[in-house]
Amino acid sequence: MVDTRPFLPVSSHAGSDPTGPSENRRKPMKLQLSIFFVLLTVGFFAALLTSNNGSDNGFVKENEHGSLASPSSEKQLRPVSRGPAVGVSEKSNRLFAKDNENQLAYPWNNSMLSWQRTAFHFQPEKNWMNDPNGPLFYKGWYHFFYQYNPHAAVWGDIVWGHAVSKDLIHWLHLPLAMVADQWYDKNGVWTGSATILPDGKVVMLYTGSTTENVQVQNLAYPADHSDPLLINWVKYSGNPVLVPPPGILDKDFRDPTTAWLTSEGKWRITIGSKINKTGIALVYDTKDFINYELLDGVLHAVPRTGMWECVDFFPVSKTEENGLDTSVNGPSVKHVVKASLDDDRHDYYSIGTYHEKNGTWIPDEPKIDVGIGLRYDYGIYYAAKTFYDQNKNRRVLWGWIGESDSEAADMQKGWASVQSIPRTILFDKKIGTHLLQWPVEEIESLRLKSYEFNQVKVQAGSVVPLDVGPATQLDIIAEFEIDKEALEKTTGSNVTFSCSSSGGTIERGALGPFGLLVLADDSLSEQTPVYFYIAKGSDGKLKTFFCNDQSRSSVASDVNKRIYGNLVPVLEGEKLSLRVLVDHSIVESFAQGGRTVITSRVYPTKAIYGAAKLFLFNNATEASVSASLRIWQMNSAFIRPYPNNKESQ
Amino acid sequence: MNNTISLTLLHLAFCFTLVSFTPISALELHGTGANMVETTCQKTPFYNLCVSALKSDPRSSGADVAGLAQIGTDKLKAKATATLRQITALLKVAKDPELKMALRDCADYYNAIVKYDIPVAVEAVTKGDPKFGVEGATDAANEADACGRGFKNQPKFPIYASNKVVHDLSAVVASIVQLLL
């Protein structure tokens, strides 16, 4: 907005001169004073004028969020209902697709909705859940805490839910661990992490939203360290232990990590934040978890990535196939920095080197730095957190899987969100830039009847049913071989491919798509393909993509219909391999041993219960594929409240 | 005369130093409350609706973006609640079975808006986890959309105007909350 008032000529605006024009002629002192005030007025209007010009691009005031670095034109006049908008969360993108304009929000009935509940994924009995919190193994039990709304199936009134398990699969619900009963967490008992001290004791750091809506960090610990179930928790009487430091806004300071030891014997944590639109991770050292010193600088920062939520920082071994305690460091170790980006609701990680002395981290490949490179999961997956499982010497990853249906449906069914099956994390030695994620081996205890298919040939443009009985609770391991001749003979092209901008499985290429159709009905009116697509460049090089196509997953129009996926590196000599966990409304898919992972939520109206089937498909135009599979029916994990007899199993 | 010139230059230097230390943001806050509304609304899909909705609340002059988001949500809540009342009243006198069905669906959608979407948006903005607010407001727009679609084959759409306002205002609120990310 331009201030159209003209610059005030020095001599004429005597009206603003409080000493009055007549007095100018009388005393030199008055002259100085009048000139002073005139110049002050000029300066004032000059400042006003220039600040108005500046505010067109950054109306947000300094004292709230700083000026927005990204030009406002990117976000201007973006209609809510059209296409993937920049920076809008995925859930808000799953809007009624253009081609479904004639259809209404689906009349979900109880049969369809109750089918959606999962059999072996962690979820509370009802209501809303989000971030995983403070996972740990303690005195024989795996503990899982989580952001929970005790009142509704939408986010709000957040407290800490709690559950325990002997094997990360069979969970028993316990009472709420922490509620919003202090001024420093009255408006939210938010995400936090556990640290196990050398003497075996546990401390928990978590974010509280105070009565004034300031984000602070608080310390809590078990009321009774001899209770293996860790039912009761005590909040430190001197909370909060950390408040937003200078330069960090009250609402940009949350999700403290597990602490790790420095070479000086202090504990170190990192907390995500942002400065303008640069995502950062602040570093604090502490000896007692009560008094902290903020390090100069940050662990790392990446411009234009926005707020870093749920930051995670952990070591991975370059050589061994096991996890590492968070404090481990050394030449055979790499460090991972992970951030959940508020702006796009995705979890990103990057592998690099930790410089202990000054508490900084440098990515190995700046092109795939945090927030601009690899994601844990290319579907619905957020706020992930790892912990070191000292019981089995592995690093385990939890991730929050939200819904991609409408909130009205969530209301109707009375719950929203599940957690992924916990995954082990390993450094992918063969590739060097990736992590490998794989469902924890304990999930195999749910396997029931198995079916084996060897070298099933699927011609180009065909579908092969796989008779495995009920197809809503499955563990599928598959290997695909594509016709070598077709691979060589196909002419390459310069056309770039991406899962999300492709037409899904109806878009046929020479060498793809091919894979599995899960949660499909006999007539294939509803189907969820999980598949590979091989693209051959004009240089003859092959690129393999791994995708999950939801465009025909349901005839309902009020569910997400997007196509997820990404490139998956495939090395010379590697077969294309796939693992898929189907559990009612959640499908978790792992390609190449977990190098690229996609989790999606699926809400069929017909392909449910006994009508859900499994197929192999090959919609390529030139290549046939042959598939070998082992498929198991999966039992329920019978997740339920901890039995009342108070005996620990 | 030399004295005057040097003193003037001194004043000049003093003034510019003073001005450069004046927080510009304070000037923007106090001097240009209306500006904040307009510049914020420019980033939403329905500028005129945004400006009139925000300015009709006296709190909007001097509000920051979070404050405007809260004002917008309050307005949305009022509009959605009123529209829900309208739907309920129409249902009482409606005779045509198809009209009744469409109105009943809209009542469901508006229940979701008033009972869930808006409280989520309010809480998310006040407590500082705005992504849930974007989600809530966008969902409200979707529900209003769904309500409208139910009337596509109907001869009359009695709540067309208020439904459109709720839809558009939801989109506006979603855009404003988006700015807080």
- How would you class B172 by CB atoms within 10 Å of its CB: exposed for 0-12, middle for 13-18, buried for 19 or more? buried
Identify whether A483 is a catalytic site residue: no
In chain A, residues under CATH classification 2.60.120.560 are 448-634
Chain B from 51 to 90: CB within 8 A of any A CB: 64-66
Band (A644; pLDDT cuts 50, 70, 90)? confident
Q: How large is the average pLDDT for residues A224-239?
A: 98
Two tokens at A323? Answer: 């996890």
Q: Which pLDDT value is given to residue A93?
A: 39
**Cβ–Cβ contact A155 with B under 8 A:** yes
In this prediction, residue A595 has a pLDDT band, given cuts at 50, 70 and 90, of very high
**pLDDT of A97:** 36
Q: What was the pLDDT predicted at A558?
A: 87
Q: Which residues of chain B have pLDDT under 70?
A: 1-2, 4, 6-34
A302: tokens are: 């990446």
- Name every chain B residue with its beta carbon within 8 A of the beta carbon of A191: none
Answer whether residue A5 shows pLDDT above 80.
no
What is the pLDDT, as a whole number, of residue A495? Answer: 85
Phi and psi, residue A184, nearest 5°: -85, 0
At A508, list the tokens. Answer: 């046929």
User: Helices B160-178 and B65-93, interaxial angle, to 10°?
Assistant: 160
Question: Distance between CA A601 and CA A439 in Å, rounded?
Answer: 17
Interface contact A48-B139, CB threshold 8 A: no
A47 touches chain B (CB under 8 A): yes
Establish, for the pair of chains A and B, how many residue pairs have beta carbons separated by less than 8 Å. 197
Chain-chain contact of B135 with A343 (C-beta, under 8 angstroms)? no
Residue A131 has pLDDT above 70, yes or no: yes
Contact call for A51 and B24, based on CB within 8 A: yes
Using DSSP's 3-state secondary structure scheme, residue A480 falls into strand
> pLDDT tier at A37 (50, 70, 90 boundaries)?
low
What single-letter amino acid sits at A68? Answer: L
Place of tokens 């844990």: A376
Mean pLDDT of A413-440: 98
A515-528 pLDDT, tens digit per residue, is 999 999 999 999 99
CA dihedral A492, A498, A499, A503 (to 10 degrees): -70
> Which amino acid would we find at residue B33?
G
**Which among B16, B139, B149 has the least Cβ separation from residue A407?**
B139
Q: Which residue of B has its CA nearest to A57?
A: B39
Q: Which of A159, A157, A151, A153 is nearest to A128 (CA)?
A: A153
- CA dist A631 and A464 (Å) reads 15
A567: exposed, middle or buried (Cβ count in 10 Å: 0-12, 13-18, 19+): middle
- A450 by Cβ neighbours in 10 Å (0-12 / 13-18 / 19+) ranks as exposed
Task: Give yes or no for residue A94 having a pLDDT over 50.
Answer: no
Nearest CA in chain A to B65: A60
- On chain B, the residues whose CB falls within 8 A of the CB of A64 are 64-66
Q: Say if residues A150 and A124 touch (Cβ distance below 8 Å).
A: no
Residues 205-234 of A with CB under 8 A from B: 209, 213, 215
Which CATH class name applies to A448-634? mainly beta
Q: Which residues of B touch A344 (CB under 8 A)?
A: none
Whether the CB-CB separation of A349 and A334 falls below 8 Å is answered with no
Query: In this complex, do A79 and B120 lie within 8 Å of one another by their Cβ atoms?
Result: no
CB nearest to B31's CB, from A35, A48, A80: A48
Q: Which residues of A touch B126 (CB under 8 A)?
A: 187, 213
User: pLDDT-based confidence at A53, cuts 50/70/90?
Assistant: very low
Least confident piece of the model among A72-81, A401-410, B71-80: A72-81
- Order of strands, edge to edge, in the sheet holding A640-641? A415-416, A127-138, A141-149, A159-165, A171-178, A640-641
Please name which of A283, A286, A184 lies closest in space to residue A236, comparing C-alpha atoms.
A184
List pLDDT tens digits, range A263-303: 999 999 999 999 999 999 999 999 999 999 999 999 999 99
Q: What is the pLDDT of residue A38?
A: 62
Closest alpha carbon to B129 in A162, A242, A348, A158:
A158
Say whether domain A127-439 belongs to CATH 3.40.190.10: no
Q: What are phi and psi for residue A222, nearest 5 degrees? A: -60, 140
pLDDT of res. B29 = 40
pLDDT at A55 over 80: no
Q: How many CB atoms lie within 10 A of CB A14?
A: 15
Short-list A29, A49, A26, A48, CA closest to A37:
A29
Whether residue A32 lies within 8 A of chain B, CB to CB, comes out as yes
Query: For A156, which of B7, B119, B143 is closest by C-beta distance?
Result: B119
Q: Which of A134, A154, A146 is nearest to A174 (CA)?
A: A146
The answer to whether the Cβ–Cβ distance between B45 and A96 falls below 8 Å is no
* Coil, strand or helix at A110: helix
Q: β-pairing, A159-165 with A333-341?
A: unpaired
pLDDT score recorded for residue A10: 36
CB contact under 8 A, B126 and A306: no
Calculate how close chain B gets to A78, using CA atoms only, in Å.
Answer: 6
Per-residue pLDDT band for A557 (boundaries 50, 70, 90) equals confident
- The answer to whether residue A2 neighbours chain B at the CB level (below 8 Å) is no
Closest CA to A558 of B108, B115, B74: B108
Q: Do A96 and B142 touch (CB under 8 A)?
A: yes
Can you list the alpha helix ranges (DSSP code H) found in A16-85? 28-55
Residue B155 in tokens: 């001869």
Q: Is A245 in contact with A273 (CB distance < 8 Å)?
A: no
Nearest by CB: A31 against B4, B65, B132: B4
A51/B132 touch (CB, cutoff 8 Å), yes or no: no
Put simply, whether A326 touches B (Cβ < 8 Å) is no
- Buried b / exposed e along A178-192 (16+ C-beta atoms within 10 A): bbbebebbbbbbbbb
Active-site residue among A3, A17, A99, A131? A131
Please give the structure tokens belonging to residue A445: 């205890």
The tokens describing A283, both together, are: 């570093």
State pTM to two decimals.
Answer: 0.83
Round to whole Å and give the CA distance between A382 and A256.
16
Using the predicted structure, report yes or no on whether residue A392 has a pLDDT greater than 60.
yes
Where is average pLDDT lowest: A45-49, A66-70, B89-93? A66-70
Cβ B149 vs Cβ B85: under 8 Å = no
CB contact under 8 A, A40 and B18: yes
CB contact under 8 A, B175 and A75: yes
* pLDDT value at A443 more than 90: yes
Q: Which amino acid is at A153?
A: A
- In 3D, which of A165, A561, A572 has the Cα closest to residue A389? A165
Confidence band, pLDDT 50/70/90 cuts, at residue A32: low
| Alpha carbons A58 and B163: distance in angstroms, whole number | 32
Contact A209, A188 (CB under 8 A): yes
- Higher per-residue pLDDT: A77 or B109: B109
Lowest-pLDDT range of A92-101, A276-285, A329-338: A92-101
Strand partners, B98: none
CA atoms within 13 A on the CB side of A622: 16
Mean pLDDT of A574-596: 98
Predicted confidence (pLDDT) at residue A45 exceeds the cutoff of 70 = no
Helix or strand holding residue A233 (H, E):
strand A233-235
Of the candidates B4, B128, B146, the beta carbon closest to that of A209 is on B128
Domains annotated on chain B, with CATH: 36-179 (1.20.140.40)
- Establish if A290 touches chain B: CB-CB under 8 angstroms: no
Does A58 score more than 90 pLDDT? no
Q: Residue A91: is its pLDDT beyond 60?
A: no
Inter-residue contact A59 to A66 (CB < 8 Å): no
DSSP letter (8 states) at residue A446: G
Contacts of A343 in chain B (CB under 8 A): 181
Domain(s) of CATH 2.115.10.20: residues in chain A: 127-439
Q: Taking a contact as any Cβ pair under 8 Å apart, which residues of chain A between 64 and 83 contact chain B?
A: 64-65, 68, 72, 75-81
Of A579, A559, A620, A597, nearest in space to A374 by CA: A597
Using CA atoms, how far residue A440 sits from A30, A77, A140, in Å, is 84, 46, 17
At B82, give phi and psi (nearest 5°). -65, -40
Q: What is the pLDDT of residue A494?
A: 86
Residue A409 sits at φ, ψ, to 5 deg, of -65, -40
Ramachandran angles phi, psi of B149, nearest 5° = -65, -30
* Distance (Å, whole) CA B100 – CA B150: 11
- Strand A171-178 and strand A640-641: the pairing is parallel
In 10 A of CB B160, how many CB atoms?
Answer: 11
Alpha helices by DSSP H, A89-160: 90-93, 110-115
CB-based contact A607:A526 (threshold 8 Å) = yes
Å from A200 to nearest chain B CA?
34
Whole-angstrom distance, CA of residue A383 vs CA of residue A398: 8
Residue type, A395: R
Which residues in chain B have their CB less than 8 angstroms from residue A63's CB?
A: 25
- The 3-state DSSP class for residue A39 equals helix
Other residues' Cβ atoms within 10 Å of the Cβ of residue A105:
25
A 442-481 residues inside an 8 A Cβ radius of B: none
Residue of B nearest to A188 (CA): B127
Query: How far apart are alpha carbons B31 and B61 in whole angstroms?
Result: 9
pLDDT over 90 at A333, yes or no: yes
What is the average pLDDT value for chain A, to the nearest integer?
Answer: 87
